[in-house]
Amino acid sequence: MGLLYVFPVSTEEKDFVDIQPERIVLKTYGLPYIFWGYALAICLMIFFMFLAIKAPILKLIQLGDETDALLGYALFGFLALLPTSLLGFFFFEKRIIKSKESIVLEYRIYGMKVFSERFSPRDENAFEISAFLSSPNVARSKADEESAGFQNKGYFVLWLNTKEGKRINIDRHSRKTDLVKLEQLITQFP
């Protein structure tokens, strides 16, 4: 998630870090503003699709039998759900809630909690950062200076080792230093 939804790495980011006496809550940032332009374009396209099919579908609902009416209403419902689900990506939030004995990963859409997982860290050194590179590309295999900007560098993953022996993916990021700072932020409180 950290490649799109980035966690804060400092306590100075007050809107996304909530430090309480018994716990710390870290919230992800939203998507960059350029994505809102994409969302607007997609919503406009859906609106124009709705205008184009509204009259024939309404006629099908009025003149057809129950199956045709059901299909017409289902199509209108689908067109209504498209922008709602699209905007769900913009109002998605992941939270890390760290207390003395546990770490909770929460996933929220439109501010409502959808899913939550609770883990008990193995010990003080329960976190580990590892590199992930699924496949190097041609620019990386040639190792030319001219193609250095086109190399697939992969990303880094912050793992939590639990008491149960599980290895949980907490976050991932293209910069290792941000994950190191996130790990320090999580472990320093409480």
Answer for the pair 92, 27: CB distance below 8 angstroms, yes or no: no
pLDDT at 140: 63
Answer for the pair 86, 43: CB distance below 8 angstroms, yes or no: yes
pLDDT at 136: 66
* Confidence check: pLDDT of 1 > 50: no
Q: How far apart are CA 110 and CA 70, in angstroms?
A: 29
**Distance from first CA to last CA of the chain, Å, rounded?**
25
pLDDT in tens, 52-70: 999 999 999 998 899 999 9
pTM given for the model: 0.80
* Confidence check: pLDDT of 181 > 50: yes
Name every residue whose Cβ is closer than 8 Å to that of residue 176 and which is 6 or more positions away in sequence.
Answer: 129, 131, 156
Q: How far apart are CA 123 and CA 183, in angstroms?
A: 14
